[in-house]
Structure 1
């Protein structure tokens, strides 16, 4: 059997040779460009994770609150408004608003993705989270929330986390591009 280093040396690519695997991001004009599959993968992963956690909450925590740590609880909550419980009983308005926001972001997707990988990742997280909450509004008439931190004034979910982190990444990605 040949030594491992000899086998590795035989299969090493020469500079400029084609590679079998393509990276998720490529440098193009000083910016990182995102693979066409990265954004849909992030959107789908966030949506599936959000649905799975909410299904578990509906099955296991319906109407209950469970202490996990002294400062963290899993608390079942039905939210018909938006963040921090504002604008309660406005489910239809936020369903239409959320769908319009998703449509607008999809229309602007190419323009946003030109700002690089950070902005594109942020956009994908916002879209995945928005779709998760839209699903809830259609299926249940409210959004299922369950993360409850004692030092934070609101109960939220995986989709809300994706939207928040995504909005920050999107803003940083857009700002970074303008700052150049």
Structure 2
């Protein structure tokens, strides 16, 4: 279980540091192109969930996210007692770390700081925590579909 707790903590720290630096340096600038019209770093305050769903419903998002994270942590703790399925547990730790990192923003700021702006495909602006949640979810789904133990 210690390895998964460590992964969760690293994800949270990595995300929170990038959000701190984004707020400190990028907020005054708004947006900085890395590759013009392809990838920008853009300061954004998201008061909703993914793709700004449930915009301005912070209390509801905090309650739902908080309950989900508690449930996920309890499940991972029980699951980690069983041998095997290391990669699935690691993917789950990514999801938990990203979820907790965004929950910290919601509680502390009433919004989530986003900064990764892929303009080539006109995608929603997102953050490091969102990336870990996505990688964890896709990885977990792939491992389940491929029946990897």
| Fold in common (TM above 0.5) | yes
Shift of 1:82: 1.1
The answer to which structure, 1 or 2, has the higher relative contact order (CA under 8 A, 6+ apart) is 2
Written as runs of structure 1 = structure 2, the 5 A alignment for 1:48-67 is 48-62=13-27, 64-67=30-33
Indicate if the aligned counterparts of 1:121 and 1:169 stay in contact, CA closer than 8 A.
no
TM-score between the two structures when normalised by the length of structure 2: 0.88
Cα separation, 1, equivalents of 2:139 and 2:12 = 18
Matched length: 144
**Cα deviation, residue 152, structure 1:** 3.9
Question: Residue 140 of structure 1 corresponds to which residue in structure 2?
Answer: 109
Alpha carbon RMSD of aligned pairs, Å? 1.8
Corresponding position: 1:124 with 2:124: no
Q: 1:104 aligns with which of 68, 71, 89?
A: 71
Between 1:166-175 and 1:59-68, the stretch displaced more is 166-175
List structure 1 segments (4+ residues) > 4 angstroms apart after TM superposition: 110-115
Measured after TM superposition, the shift of residue 112 of structure 1 is 4.4
Which ranges in structure 2 are unaligned for 5 or more consecutive residues?
Answer: none
Separation in 2 of the partners of 1:127 and 1:139?
Answer: 18
Match of 1:76 among 37, 43, 53: 43
Unaligned runs of 5+ in 1: 1-35
| Superposed displacement of residue 57, structure 1 | 0.6
1:155 alignment partner, SS class: coil
